[in-house]
């Protein structure tokens, strides 16, 4: 509650409490007239002015009616208003008008109450709600509000003000804690926002790079598709101009493969010819050395070579360069010379006929095919014809083979 002594700042506007006229004591009203603000009990002004009227509005009304309120603080303005409202004055009339206009709906609801008990019950219901300022003004100015109810209402308002003060202090404490927590959270939020902005910039840069790359790839794709369409058109034109182009390409590929095979065979043939020429040269050189070697002096009976008169001697195999030497040696002994290459160049089917016409067979086993070798050996075994196998294709080997044949078989004239 406010002090009953007027503050020094309020002295210019009203007399001191000792000389101010006292408000008439409230009497139980028997009619329907509501008491005015300056007709209330002296203890009611402080809670009515402090609870029912917001301080900014009170300051505006006091400055409008009294003037010079800028130099006073809120407490001084409150004390001045309480003092002025104890009697009828411009400020009390303005406050009365403001309260009537502000709580017109609450006053209309309270007007329906016809007894003090109903008013007290209505006040208890309104006091339990959050906004009970209008109920306080309506209850204190109700025609059925007697002294006991007014005393109870003012006591409860006084205690509510204490509770509100304690709640305000607790709220302030919580508010300070919330402010501190809010500051911490604000700093953390600022840091998080900074990180988010940095990541957003990085993602934006990466997005721009990927978009640029996508544009380049899209341009390359379009260019490739255009090039593919052009090539397809060119291919279609070529196919139209040359309908047999696939067959010609296949033939060209086949000809190229055959040409490669032919070149390979030519190289192999050239290599074989070179090897054959080298072997001929070696054989001729060997034969020349053998011919140039001095023959030993033998007796007339020993030097006389065995005669093979009227006999057919077949030489199977042998080198081409040695064939004339074989002919000379055999014909020198009076025999008839027959030759077959052993399946290299001559037809192997002619070998049987040549074997049948021969009386003696000399086989160069190192210069014939396997088929010819077995055919010669089988024929001589079945017919009983003399056969000598010679490994070295030379003149001396041939002469030794002829001597072996003559010594192992009796000479019989040919049929």
Take residue 46 and report the two structure tokens written for it: 């402080």
Q: Which residues pair with 338 in a beta bridge?
A: 314
Q: Is residue 298 part of a domain?
A: no
- Phi–psi pair at 136, nearest 5 degrees: -65, -45
Q: 218 and 357: one domain?
A: no
Residue 146: CB atoms within 10 A of its CB come to 15
Q: 213 and 343: one domain?
A: no
Q: Decide which of 241, 268, 289 is a domain's last residue.
A: 241
Q: Is the pLDDT of residue 412 over 50?
A: no
Q: What is the pLDDT of residue 346?
A: 54
Q: What is the pLDDT of residue 188?
A: 92
Average pLDDT on 39-65 reads: 85
Q: Is residue 330 part of a domain?
A: yes
Q: What is the pLDDT of residue 380?
A: 87
Q: What is the pLDDT of residue 275?
A: 83
* CA proximity to 53, closest of 33, 71, 37: 37
Average pLDDT on 47-75 reads: 85
Q: How far apart are CA 3 and CA 6, in angstroms?
A: 7
Q: 177 and 157: one domain?
A: no
Q: Is residue 204 part of a domain?
A: yes
Higher local confidence (pLDDT), 410 or 142: 142
Q: What is the pLDDT of residue 208?
A: 92
The total domain count for the chain is 3
> What percentage of the chain reaches a pLDDT higher than 90?
13
Q: Is residue 280 part of a domain?
A: no
Q: How far apart are CA 153 and CA 122, in angstroms?
A: 12
Q: Tell me the pLDDT band of 345, cut-offs 50, 70 and 90.
A: low
Q: Tell me the pLDDT band of 291, cut-offs 50, 70 and 90.
A: low
Q: 155 and 184: one domain?
A: no
Q: What is the pLDDT of residue 28?
A: 44
Q: Tell me the pLDDT band of 9, cut-offs 50, 70 and 90.
A: very low
Q: 138 and 183: one domain?
A: no
Higher local confidence (pLDDT), 341 or 192: 192
> What percentage of the chain reaches a pLDDT higher than 70?
80
Q: How far apart are CA 384 and CA 410, in angstroms?
A: 13
Structural domain that includes position 124? 8-171
Q: 47 and 157: one domain?
A: yes
Q: 225 and 197: one domain?
A: yes
Q: 342 and 376: one domain?
A: yes
Q: 152 and 200: one domain?
A: no
Q: What is the pLDDT of residue 415?
A: 36
Mean pLDDT taken over the chain: 78
**Residue 388 three-state SS:** strand
Q: 34 and 53: one domain?
A: yes
Q: 351 and 363: one domain?
A: yes
pLDDT in tens, 245-285: 778 888 888 999 999 999 999 888 888 888 887 877 787 77
Cα–Cα distance list, 383 to 130, 350, 354, 375, 412 (Å) = 146, 17, 14, 12, 15
R_g (Cα) of the chain, nearest Å: 74
Contact 350, 326 (CB under 8 A): no
Q: How far apart are CA 379 and CA 252, in angstroms?
A: 51
Q: Is residue 375 part of a domain?
A: yes
Higher local confidence (pLDDT), 49 or 192: 192
Q: What is the pLDDT of residue 220?
A: 93
Average pLDDT on 185-193 reads: 92
Q: 236 and 353: one domain?
A: no
């Amino acid at each position: 509650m406010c002090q009953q002594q007027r503050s020094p700042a309020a002295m210019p506007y009203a007399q001191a409490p000792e000389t101010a006229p006292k408000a008439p004591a409230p009497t139980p009203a028997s009619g329907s007239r509501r008491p005015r603000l300056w007709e209330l009990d002296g203890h009611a002004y402080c809670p009515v002015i402090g609870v029912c009227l917001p301080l900014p509005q009170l300051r505006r009304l006091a400055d409008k009616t009294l003037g010079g309120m800028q130099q006073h603080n809120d407490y001084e303005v409150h004390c001045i208003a309480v003092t002025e409202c104890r009697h009828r004055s411009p400020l009390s009339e303005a406050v009365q008008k403001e309260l009537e206009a502000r709580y017109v709906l609450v006053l209309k609801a309270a007007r329906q109450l016809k007894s003090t008990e109903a008013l007290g019950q209505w006040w208890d219901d309104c006091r339990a709600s959050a906004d009970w300022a209008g109920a306080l003004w309506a209850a204190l100015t109700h025609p059925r509000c007697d002294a006991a109810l007014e005393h109870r209402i003012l006591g409860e308002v006084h205690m509510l003000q204490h509770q509100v003060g304690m709640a305000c202090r607790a709220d302030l404490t919580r508010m300070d804690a919330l402010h501190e927590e809010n500051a911490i959270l604000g700093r953390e939020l600022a840091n998080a926002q900074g990180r988010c902005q940095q990541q957003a910039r990085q993602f934006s840069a990466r997005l721009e790079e990927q978009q640029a790359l996508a544009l380049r790839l899209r341009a390359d794709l379009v260019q490739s598709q255009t090039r593919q369409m052009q090539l397809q058109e060119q291919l279609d034109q070529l196919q139209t101009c040359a309908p047999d182009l696939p067959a010609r390409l296949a033939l060209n590929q086949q000809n190229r493969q055959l040409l490669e095979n032919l070149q390979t065979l030519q190289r192999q043939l050239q290599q074989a010819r070179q090897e054959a020429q080298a072997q001929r040269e070696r054989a001729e050189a060997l034969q020349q050395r053998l011919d140039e070697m001095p023959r030993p002096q033998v007796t007339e009976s020993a030097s006389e070579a065995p005669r093979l008169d009227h006999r057919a001697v077949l030489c199977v195999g042998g080198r081409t360069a040695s064939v004339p030497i074989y002919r000379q040696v055999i014909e020198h002994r009076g025999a008839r010379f027959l030759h077959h290459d052993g399946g290299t160049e001559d037809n192997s089917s002619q070998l049987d006929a040549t074997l049948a016409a021969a009386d003696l067979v000399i086989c160069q086993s190192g210069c014939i095919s396997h088929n010819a070798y077995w055919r010669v050996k089988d024929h001589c075994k079945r017919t009983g014809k003399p056969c000598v196998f010679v490994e070295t294709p030379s003149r001396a080997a041939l002469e030794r083979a002829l001597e072996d044949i003559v010594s192992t078989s009796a000479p019989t004239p040919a049929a």
